[in-house]
Amino acid sequence: MKTKFIHLLLLAFACCVTVLCQAQNDTSRTATCSKGICTCGNDPSPAGLMISHTHSVNEWMLSYRFMSADAQDLIAGGNTSASSEVLNRYASVPEHMKMQMHMLMAMYGISERFTFMAMLNYNQMNMQMAMQFGNEIHHHHMRSSGVGDSKFYLLYAPVKTETWEYLLFGGVSMPTGSIRKKGEPQSMIYSNARMPYGMQNGSGSWEVLPGLNIRHQKNDLTFCYQSSAILRLNSNSLGYRLGNEFYHTAWAAWQWCSKVSNSIRVDANYVQGLRGRDQQLQTIVEPQANTLNYGGTKTSAYFGLNFHFKKAALERHLFSAEFGLPVFQKVNGLQLKSKSTLFINWSVTI
């Protein structure tokens, strides 16, 4: 049954690519590009990748990206942990978390080698918790939303040809996101009290964001490797500092025709533990209030689809989506297990 389903899925996918690609005359992907790897609407970069290219002089790109990440079931280290056992140690346990992010991004080509980029985002977090009352388990929700930290980058491409692009980038993250979000008045825990580190909209710290991107495009195939980091410079005004984060990602994309491309991507990241603590948080309330339950390593695999509109009015628009599943996770202490991540992106080059 499962094999039949996979065959049907592959058949449906092949039909979609055929229909989307048919009746097109333009097979040149670089027809509208001036110099370097094409980024004008035909970019095969996966939707989850924030940085992947530079722009031509005076060229603008505006984009909106939506991310939805789900986490469920507790793990201790790399192993599943039962909620009943955790309730012996904490008053409440997290069961499910949905984090959604709306990101607005602008890129501008200062010169053929330098591109400026700014990114603003709005976060929404919803966490379902379980609490024990006698023999009964009660479920309730914690919510938090607001503007996140704002990021500004300068991208430099020392090598930029039609087949290769070497990209060095550096950014700064301003702590515009709140670290003082309180629970709703009717909330079972954190009622009008500050919520834990993971439910806050920002880090409260200034951050440096270095990275390197190497991209090779050969006919219809694109390969790319990227290494980047979030380095937190200071403890925030509440006396803690989230861990530094390190990312490695590699992807390959195949351009079926000038309209459609697919990508596969592997992403590995390492997040250091949290230092310091917010004095208002009581460690025994729930695992998220305990600073030992932050950081870890995770590897995920993604599948992506990019669609480039060929109608004249939408020629410089790109729509892309990417879906990922974790293949390996090992966390510090006790945390919710990551289940899936979805990215949807729309961009226009002006």
Is the CB of 214 or the CB of 268 nearer to Cu ion? 214
For Cu ion, the closer of residues 203 and 249 by Cβ is 249
The answer to whether the beta carbons of residues 128 and 140 sit under 8 Å apart is yes
Burial class (CB in 10 A: 0-12, 13-18, 19+), 98: middle
| Residue placing its CB nearer to Cu ion in the complex, 42 or 288 | 42
Q: How far is the CB of 54 from Cu ion (least distance, A)?
A: 8
C-alpha–C-alpha distance, residues 73 and 336, integer Å: 5
Side-chain-side CA neighbours of 14 within 13 Å: the count stands at 6
Of 338 and 347, nearer to Cu ion (C-beta) is 347
Is the Cβ–Cβ distance between 266 and 249 less than 8 Å?
yes
Minimum gap (Å) between residue 107 Cβ and Cu ion: 4
In the complex, which residue's CB is closest to Cu ion? 61
Given the complex with Cu ion, which of 41 and 287 has the nearer CB atom? 41
Q: Which residue has the tokens 């966490």?
A: 127
Contact between 263 and 322 (Cβ < 8 Å) = yes
CB of 61 to Cu ion, least distance (A): 4
Which residues have C-beta within 8 Å of that of residue 96, sequence separation ≥ 6? 70, 71, 72, 127, 128, 336
Q: Between 107 and 253, whose beta carbon lies closer to Cu ion?
A: 107
E strand or H helix that includes residue 86: helix 83-86
- Decide whether 113 or 277 has the Cβ nearer to Cu ion: 113
Q: What is the nearest approach in angstroms of Cu ion to the Cβ of residue 347?
A: 7
| Shortest distance (Å) from residue 50 CB to Cu ion | 10
Q: How far is the CB of 40 from Cu ion (least distance, A)?
A: 9
Provide DSSP, 111-158: SSSEEEEEEEEEEEEEEEEEEEETTEEEEEEEEEEEE--EEEEEEEEE
Residue with Cβ nearer Cu ion (8 or 350): 350
Q: How far is the CB of 68 from Cu ion (least distance, A)?
A: 22
How does 183-211 read in b/e, with b if 16+ C-beta sit within 10 Å? beeebbbbeeebbbbbbbbbbbbebebeb
Length of the chain measured in residues: 350
Classify residue 128 as exposed, middle or buried by CB count within 10 Å of its CB (0-12, 13-18, 19+): middle
Residues that bind Cu ion in the complex, under the rule CB under 5 A: 61, 107
Nearest approach in angstroms of CB 190 to Cu ion is 39
